[in-house]
Structures are given as structure tokens and as C-alpha cells.
Structure 1
Amino acid sequence: MAYKDFRDFLNTLHKEGQLLTVTDEVQPDPDLGSAGQAISNLGDQTPGLLFTNIYGYNNAKVALNVMGSWSNHALMMGLPKSTPVKEQFFEFARRYEKFPVKVKREETAPFHECEIKDDINLFDLLPLFRLNQGDGGYYLDKACVISRDQHDKENFGKQNVGIYRMQVKGKDRLGIQPVPQHDIAIHLKQAEEKGENLPVSIALGCEPAIVTAAATPLHYDQSEYEMAGAIQGEPYRIVKSQLSDLDVPWGAEVILEGEILAGEREYEGPFGEFTGHYSGGRSMPVIKINRVYHRKDPIFESLYIGMPWTETDYLIGINTSVPLYQQLKEAYPEEIEAVNAMYTHGLVAIVSTKSRYGGFAKAVGMRALTTPHGLGYCKLVILVDEDVDPFNLPQVMWALSTKMHPKHDVITVPNLSVLPLDPGSEPAGITDKMILDATTPVAPETRGHYSQPLDTPLETEKWEKILTNMMQK
């Protein structure tokens, strides 16, 4: 089911009726950002967008919302576009367990068609536009950024592929925000301690498997390329960078090669973030672009990011939930049923678990806070019983309203870490966190009256299938 490259995935979306091509002339600002928000407002099965006639940019194409629905997310995994979210979760978890899948190395790539060594001008090369009207400039927000551990350069697993916002600061300069919880911040710290620049490669317009892997909270020494292979079911193809020892995605539309300049900082921001708020301006590192490779007539991919839900939430929803699920199952293999951490990148996580004894679910909640992702996110963890579907919010609200006792089932932990982009953190990067236990009390807890739960009618599952088939005809 692996896609050859970004264009191959776009072709699949087109065949499946999940790509809307806009041929009328549009303005970069405000039309593209407005269209990105508009398509996000129209439900969770919406198509991707491809703009082919952008004022001021001859022959440029811009793709938006490529992963901006559960239908497109299912197609990313080679599943029928009607696959329910819960089924996508468990299928992703099954593939996650196949990690690692070794990569396939290539000598050349399609993006080697065109090379720019001198007089690099990103304003000419890329069709840039503001996503939100209060943004401090133009941003690359769906690019895979590749960097290496500077103390262990031969360790393939410690080469990181991540997605970080980058502001276009000049013809060959970008500002980047390396959030402390992310791997590139470690690599930059290592380089700057030695007084050296950090080599980076930036890949635009990539296959969905590597974009998904790059947005997954893996362990530090786990390779995103080997995870992309697990996601797509066959080895992921990479090619060596021309200017460094970095490996880059073979199927990218554009590759920017450069380095983060040691010790240099410039004002970056504001930027409309996935929290639904502007993150403000901060002093951030700078990338100098030294070489560019691109396909003929490259397709520029971006994503609209703003008030949830947008493409960001579909892109990072399941692949945030599954690592938490796997890490909790390592600790509690017989109890953990499912994890839904799809809300604002897991600032809220819902865990379905069996309770071995009284107070057990609260311990599961504490463990969720100490997972790699939980340390920087997971501000609120909700625990529900194993027969409550964490992806069914009415069921979760039922559990909260009937099982949770404010006196017994609320735990707050003060002064824990959270990503600085959380607008509620004070100071930025510090917050109290909360666990809400909405599971049924078991011994030695004896409070409440839960001895007579309703039974599901015997033929419910059969009729779900019958009615689903009827509705699809």
C-alpha cells in the first residue's frame, strides 16, 4: 500500500473523490488560509484541496488539507475511506508493533531534477502566504526537518525527522522554533556547546507515511524512517543529502539544505497555533539555506493550523494516541483497552482501562503523565472503564457524569512541565495537571450504587452491521 511519492497520494485522493481541485484564480492572501479554515469547518470527511491558479505565481500548485479528514487518514494507511476512527486506531497500533522496518537507500531522487546553488530566493521559489491574519510572516508548517545527534552521528535511530514551524526571514533564511521537548532541541544544544552550526535538511511535499511518522512522539533513538516503513508496510525509501550526512525522503517535492547557525537568535512569531491561540513572538534560532533541490513544477504543501479541528488534529490524533497506548500497555498489559489523545495534541487524554483494585485507574493516570509525550502534554487525563469507548464522547461524558465523584476522583499535581505553547501555562512551560477517575469503584472502594448496569440488547451488533450496510447503499 506504500505510495511512491506525494503525487501518488494526491492521485489516490483524486480517484477516491477526496481531492478538490480549484482552478479559478485565487489570491495567496487571504484566499488560501481562508480556504484551509473553511474546509476544516465542513466536517470530518472533507477532501484535500489543490490550487492550480495562484495570483503572482506562474504554474505554482498548493495542496492543503491533504490529511484533513478521517477519510484521507484511512487512505494514508491504505484502508477504505469509510473505516471508522476506532478501527484506524487499532490498525495503526498493529503496524506500530511492526517497528522497525529497515529503510531502502537510493542513489538519486526525483527532486534532483533541479538544483539551485547560488542566489537562493525562497520568495521566488515557494508560493508563500499567511495562514492567519495575525501571523508575523510566512511559514513553512508541514515540512519534515532532519537533523542528527552530534555525539552519536553513526546511530541511525538518533537521526530525527520532525515537523517544526519555520518562519521565512529572508531570501535564504528561516526562523525555527525547536520546542525543548523535541529531539532537534537536543541536537542544537549539542552543536552549540561545541560552537558549531547544526546541519539540517528540510523536505517539503512528502509521502504521508513519513509526515505521519515525523509527527509521532517516538523515543529519542527510534527512527522515523523505520516507523514510516512500519506504517506503510514496506521499507521507506531515503537518499543521502548532498551537503551533509543526513538522509532525506526520496519522494519529496522540494529539499532545502542548510544549517542552524550557532548562537544566532532572531525574533520569530507571532503564529496561530494548534491551541487556537497566537503563540506570540520569541527569540528563536535561524537556519541558513545553502542549497535547494526540487522537482520540475513542484507541488507546495502546507496545512492550515488554527482553532481545532483542522488538518493538524487529524494528522497527529491517532499517532499521538497509539504511542501512549503502547507505553501504558507495557506497564499494564492486561488492563489497558484503548487511548484517545486526539484533543489538542494530547493536552487531554482519555484512557479506557480495567481496574484491578480500588485506586488502580488513578495509578494509570499518573503513569500517563510520565510517558515521553505525557511529560510535555497530557494536562488532563480522564480514566474510563474498559466497556466505555474513549472515542465515543457521549459515552465518556456519561462516565464522567455518573461515575466520577468530585470528592474522591479528582487528583491535581502542581508545577509539572507542559509545552510553552499552552496558553494556560504560567509561567510558560509550567502547569498543574489533573486526573479524573470516571471508572466504576471496585474493592476496597465501596461507594456508590453501580450494581445494576443496563445490558445491551442481544442482537445490537448484528443490527449495527445490517443498518450500516443499508445506509451505504
Structure 2
Amino acid sequence: MQAPYDDLRGFLSALEANKQLLHIDREVKPEPDLGAAGRAVANLDGNTAPALLFENIKGFSEARVALNIHGSWANHALMLGLPKETSLKEQFFELGDRWQKFPVPVDRRTEAPWQEITVSEDINLFELLPVFRLNPADGGPYIDKAAVITRDSADPDNFGKQNVGIYRMQVKGPDHLGLQSGPPHDFGRHITASDGKKTGLPIAIAIGNDPVLSLVASTPLAYDQSEYEMAGAWRGGVPYPIVKAPHTGLDVPWGSEVVLEGEVIYGEREFEGPFGEFTGHYSGGRALPVVKVHRIHMRRDPIFEHLYLGLPWTEIDYLMALNTSVPIHRQLKEAFPEVQAVNAMYTHGMVNIISTKVRHGGFGRVVGLRALTTPHGIGYSKLVIVVDETVDPFNLEQVMWALSVKFNPQHDAISIPRMFGNPLDPAGDPQGITTRLVLDATTPRSPDNRGEDDQLITPYPETTDWESTLKEMLR
């Protein structure tokens, strides 16, 4: 396994060495060029689409912009130090295996590259950062791939409760951000705790990070599980490097390109949005928390990393595919060891496909209902499809076969009305309320005796040898 990357630049070098990075040297405008390029690269082959590095941004003499860092399965594999040809299913189980190393103690350092320049007066984000609208009808420019770091003010010394998450931020003024939060998110809990004390919430915003940190920051961990200690596990047991931010005292990534420090202003809410979301639709405006920026630290030639969102699939779907699937798999397996794998890759886990051995009649629907109560499932899972252990949940041809011949709508669909739903889901009625649906496409077991006389077709045992022979011939 390749040694882990401590910063974004190290990973960009690895992408270039593996022909997974395109340098764009010609001058581009922040709008419309960067958003258009983000959409365009998402339209390429999802197995091999490259990252993009824009070297010449109009109006910014030094800053560069990186897009699509996680935007293909090849890039995702390289992030994990694996060959870029590593299959999706292999990457799923690799992440699950590395999870076993959690927690890995952090590597605390005293200095960081982002301390080269500090701005504490006359802050103007529009001049310092090449912010732009990703899609034409966005309510303004956004920062959307930064690690947002906050602490639980009710338990500030608990390292595990320090949250590192990715939340979108609308740049609303020179030192003024609107920040999305929701009740299921750790950041939302931190806001509630600080509001209870009638005080602002210190915040650090780290832009341009190594790829594993971005992966972990978008993973639904338990409230008291440290993202930094999980990053060490997903780096193969190599401790993750962090540094204290000088103004807030928060722990931030050592390898970031830019670090903003400030506070979430107590009691203030402002209209934020609309924004082109992971659902493929624009989300409407809502009253959300406000951030005042007090310090900016950066490298002399910073790389501003952005995440394009739009009609799936885009980079966010690769970033949040397996790191959503693996936690749900682990949580289900704790209750039901029969569960084999979970595919929660579609639209941030709003659809889950679960393969499981069947213990008894009705077991598939029990597993499906449990998925709805996992930490991620509560806020996102809307449709759960359960299939037999012989069905690969990452192979949609097999899943569609199971739905075609195993599923009877009269008996095997469970509908649960008026559940909490993600407020960004345009199908909500009203938004934030939805019906959940479990489809049990497993083979019936006693005492459900439907299809008990059916015989599944199995191939000759020599089929596996022939697969190997044909693959070798194709090389």
C-alpha cells in the first residue's frame, strides 16, 4: 500500500503520476468556466475521470483551483493507496477492514504550512479566495468542500466530540458566511449547545485538504467518534497530523491550504440559498446560522479545492458513496451478523441496497427497518432494498433481477408514512417529512412458503476457471 498523503499537494502528485490529473494552463474565469468544467468532467467515464487543476484564474495571480479530486473510482482507489484499477467492491471491504484499526491516536504538530500568511484586518474573502457559483441559479458563491471544525460547548474537552464535517457555506460578505446545518448533524448539535449557553460558537474552516480527511469529514460517524482518529485508521494505521488553530484553539489539519477562524454568531439566522444540491435540484432558501470570520491563514500559493454538485453522478457521489455504505454495514452487522454488504451510494444514501443471509421468514424486512434507524438512515434513507447474500448489492443487474423475480408488491413492500426526512429532498411532503419504503427481495423462508419449489440455476463448477482463462486472454 502507498504511504498516506499528508496534504492535497502530495495527492495531486500521485494523481499526476497515475495519469489522473489534468493541468489547465489557459486563463479561465471563475464564472462560468469553473462550474462548467466541474459539470463537464462529471460527464466523463466514472471509473477513470481525472482531477482538474486550474493554474491561471482571472483576477487571482497566485491562487489555483482543484476540482474532481474524488471524482472517479480510480481516484478513490489511489486515495487509499491502492492500484487505480481496484474494483468498487474491493474498496468497500478495504475501508471496512481499516475501520477495525479505529481509533488511531493523532500526530500533534506545532507548525503547519498554512501559517505562512495571516490576515486579521480588512478581511475580504472575495479578494483572497477565488469563490464562484457552481451552478447558474445558486444564490451566491459557495465554499463547499471545506472541513468545518467545532466543539461541543457543553463538553469542550472531549476530543471525540470535536466535530470535523463538510457543510456548504455561502459567501455573503467580505467576512460573512451563511452555513448550512441540520438537526441530525453533529454541527447542528453544537449550535444547539452554544445557543443554550447564549454564546457564539468558535469555528475553524479548513480548505484544500488531503483526500482521506475529506472522506472522513463526510462520513456519518457516532457523535463521540473522532474524525481525526478515524482518518488514522483509514490511512492504514498512520496517525493523522493536526495543529492547534491560534485564534480558536481548535484542532485543524496540518496539511490544509487555507484556514479560516471565526465564530458562529449567537442568535443570528439569515436567509441562505438557493443552492444546486446533491439531489440534482436547487434547494430553496432557509434561515441558517451566520459565521463571522476573524482570521485567515494560508499558504503563499494556495490551492482552493471545490466540489461540484449537480444532477448525479458528480464528485460528491463518489466522495460520499462508500463512506456512507461502510458505517451502515457495520451498524447492521452488529445487530444481524447475517448482513453481507451494503450499497448506500445513491444520492447520499437516500437509497440503500442490503445483501443478507436470511435467518427466517420476514427477516429481510427486519433488516430493512433497522437500516432506517441507523444514524445516517434517520436523516437520509428513504428506500431500502434487501436481497439475498448471493446477490451482489453493487451489481445493479443482479439487484434488478432479484426485484423482478423475488419481490411481490402485495406482500413484500413496507410503507411507513410521515417520517422525518432530509429537508433538501424535493419529494418531501412537506419538505422534511417523507414516507419510508422497504422492499424485501429476499427468497421467502418458512413459515412464508411462497416459491418453496423453485430451483435456482447454478453454473458448472468449472465456470470460475473459464472466467480466469478468458480474462487472461483479453490482456
Q: State if a TM-score over 0.5 links the two structures.
A: yes
2:51–2:70 CA contact under 8 A, matched in 1:
yes
For residues 244 and 449 of structure 1, what CA distance do their matches in structure 2 show?
64
| 1:200-349 alignment, distance < 5 Å | 200-233=203-236, 234-333=238-337, 335-349=338-352
Per mean C-alpha deviation after superposition, the further-off stretch among 419-428 and 152-161 is 419-428
1:366-394 per-position Cα deviation (integer Å, ceiling 9, x unaligned): 10011111111110000000000000000
SS at 2:41 equivalent: helix
- Matched with 1:190 is 193
Task: Return the TM-score normalized by structure 2.
Answer: 0.98
1:26 to 22, 28, 36: 28
Root-mean-square deviation (CA), in Å? 1.0
For residues 470 and 218 of structure 2, what CA distance do their matches in structure 1 show?
36
1:25-73 per-position Cα deviation (integer Å, ceiling 9, x unaligned): 2121111111111111112120000111122222321000000000000
For residues 105 and 422 of structure 1, what CA distance do their matches in structure 2 show?
40
Which amino acid in the other structure matches residue 396 of structure 1?
V
1:181–1:419 CA contact under 8 A, matched in 2:
no
For residues 468 and 315 of structure 2, what CA distance do their matches in structure 1 show?
30
For residues 200 and 421 of structure 2, what CA distance do their matches in structure 1 show?
28
Which amino acid in the other structure matches residue 278 of structure 1?
Y
- Number of residue pairs matched? 471
Which amino acid in the other structure matches residue 464 of structure 2?
E
Which amino acid in the other structure matches residue 237 of structure 1?
P
For residues 192 and 290 of structure 2, what CA distance do their matches in structure 1 show?
14
1:158-195 per-position Cα deviation (integer Å, ceiling 9, x unaligned): 00000000000100111001121100111111111211
1:379 to 365, 373, 382: 382
Which amino acid in the other structure matches residue 363 of structure 1?
V
Report the CA distance between 1:129 and its aligned residue.
Answer: 1.3
Report the CA distance between 1:459 and its aligned residue.
Answer: 2.7
Q: Structure 1 unaligned runs (5+)?
A: none
Report the CA distance between 1:123 and its aligned residue.
Answer: 0.7
Inter-CA distance 462–136: structure 2 relative to 1 (3 Å threshold): same
For residues 468 and 179 of structure 1, what CA distance do their matches in structure 2 show?
48
1:255–1:292 CA contact under 8 A, matched in 2:
yes
Per mean C-alpha deviation after superposition, the further-off stretch among 153-162 and 446-455 is 446-455
Inter-CA distance 439–147: structure 2 relative to 1 (3 Å threshold): same
For residues 235 and 75 of structure 2, what CA distance do their matches in structure 1 show?
14
Report the CA distance between 1:469 and its aligned residue.
Answer: 4.2
SS at 1:407 equivalent: helix
Per mean C-alpha deviation after superposition, the further-off stretch among 316-325 and 39-48 is 39-48
Question: Identity rate of aligned residues, in percent?
Answer: 60
Per mean C-alpha deviation after superposition, the further-off stretch among 26-35 and 398-407 is 26-35
| 1:96-175 alignment, distance < 5 Å | 96-175=99-178
Report the CA distance between 1:86 and its aligned residue.
Answer: 0.3
SS at 2:410 equivalent: coil
1:391 to 383, 394, 408: 394
1:218-257 per-position Cα deviation (integer Å, ceiling 9, x unaligned): 0000000000000012000000110123100000000000
Report the CA distance between 1:470 and its aligned residue.
Answer: 4.3
1:417–1:430 CA contact under 8 A, matched in 2:
yes
Task: Return the TM-score normalized by structure 1.
Answer: 0.98
Report the CA distance between 1:465 and its aligned residue.
Answer: 3.4
Query: Is 1:369 matched up with 2:372?
Result: yes
For residues 366 and 274 of structure 2, what CA distance do their matches in structure 1 show?
39
- Matched with 2:412 is 409
2:62–2:302 CA contact under 8 A, matched in 1:
no
For residues 61 and 131 of structure 2, what CA distance do their matches in structure 1 show?
13
- Matched with 1:3 is 5
- Matched with 2:90 is 87
